Amino acid sequence: MNQKDFHPNFSRMDELSQQKVPFFFMVDFLMQNVEIYLENEILKSGLLIDFQNVKISSNNDAINLKGSEKSQNFEWNFFPETKENYQKGFENVQKHLKLGNSYLVNYTRKTKIETNLCLEEIFNLSKAKYKVKYKDDFVFFSPETFVEIIGNQIYTHPMKGTIDASKENAAELLKNDMKEKAEHYTVVDLLRNDLSMVADDVKVEEFQRIDFIKTQQKNLYAMSSEISGKLKPEFEGKIGSIMKTLLPAGSILGAPKPKTLEIILESENYERGFYTGVCGYFDGKNLDSCVMIRFIERDGENFYFKSGGGITHLSKLADEYQEMKNKIYVPIH
């Protein structure tokens, strides 16, 4: 994407952050749709937001009062595509990996789901680090931070590698699995390089941290690392410039970015939309943002869950197909 092609709202994000005006933003996967909401516009727009340090949501007492009852009677069914159908895109990804066109591709799918909850109930009842409901279009409950900016320090927290927590010695298995390690090392290296474009003194502060994710269907362990740096002077106070330099997020794309994006578009045959894009809240001083994963989208009368994982040359079809299904969950418990 050429500089002239960037969405004008990236420039507006720069202006607002330089003026220290709080705002919420959303950027879709392909960086074609960039939305900005000032504080007084958020609720009127149909957005509900629950981040670590900010909560902007309607006070729906009826939903809150019925929360425990709804949690206990929660119905959840999903209908994944066949392994044979998943395999078509998987084999195309593997072909490119073997040709050396990429060394990590994040391959995702779209799965029909059925639940007795509406999007707002899912938003209210889910427990996650980041939650957003967007109008009546989608809801997500993400465990993954994209970038945080505190003062002139920037941090990113790539999450790559998951395992069923019920397996014996699951955390150790995850940390030592050759494929998962290769995937995690690749993403950490990619994000470290990305961060170096906007920051100096970039270093990995915490490597291969294991997080526990509790869900009603299946508990998971996920592996993440923390990378930090000091913003370059030309990027200080410029949220839009930082975002357009770093996006798409490496953890949900792969490496190298331009060719890997081509492979994804060729292999997936559906539109990600805002799924695997990023959103964030700037409070006038600091920024907190997340990757929009663990994502349920409405399409007409139906709901779909979008999920996937990183594919390397070490990936096995059965394992990756299972990981895609493992991530189809709601953290209601």
List the CATH number of the domain containing 236.
3.60.120.10
Range with lowest mean pLDDT among 70-74, 166-170, 292-296: 70-74
pLDDT above 90: percentage of residues in the chain: 68
Domain of 147?
3-152+186-199+232-326
Residue 89, in any domain of the structure: yes
Range with lowest mean pLDDT among 60-64, 149-153, 285-289: 60-64
Q: Based on the structure, what is the number of domains in the chain?
A: 1
Residue 173, in any domain of the structure: no
Over residues 11-54, the pLDDT tens digits come to 999 999 999 999 999 999 999 999 999 988 998 898 999 998 88
Residue 222, in any domain of the structure: no
- As a whole number of angstroms, the distance between CA 274 and CA 86 comes to 22
Residue 332, in any domain of the structure: no
- Burial of residue 290, with CB atoms counted within 10 A of its CB: 0-12 exposed, 13-18 middle, 19 or more buried: buried
Distances (CA, A) of 146 to 3, 67, 137, 138, 321: 22, 30, 22, 19, 25
Q: How confident is the model at residue 205 (pLDDT cuts 50, 70, 90)?
A: confident
Question: CA angle 59-33-86, nearest 5°?
Answer: 95
pLDDT at residue 65, rounded to an integer: 40
* pTM metric for this prediction: 0.89
Question: CA angle 181-183-187, nearest 5°?
Answer: 115
Residue 166, in any domain of the structure: no
Across 16-30, 70-84, 116-130, the highest mean pLDDT is recorded for: 16-30
Residue 209, in any domain of the structure: no
Residue 169, in any domain of the structure: no
Residue 331, in any domain of the structure: no
- As a whole number of angstroms, the distance between CA 115 and CA 73 comes to 10
pLDDT at residue 62, rounded to an integer: 41
Q: How far is CA 138 from the centre of its chain?
A: 14
- As a whole number of angstroms, the distance between CA 254 and CA 294 comes to 18
Note whether 40 and 302 are within 8 A (CB).
Answer: no
Phi, psi of 227 (to 5 degrees): -125, 140
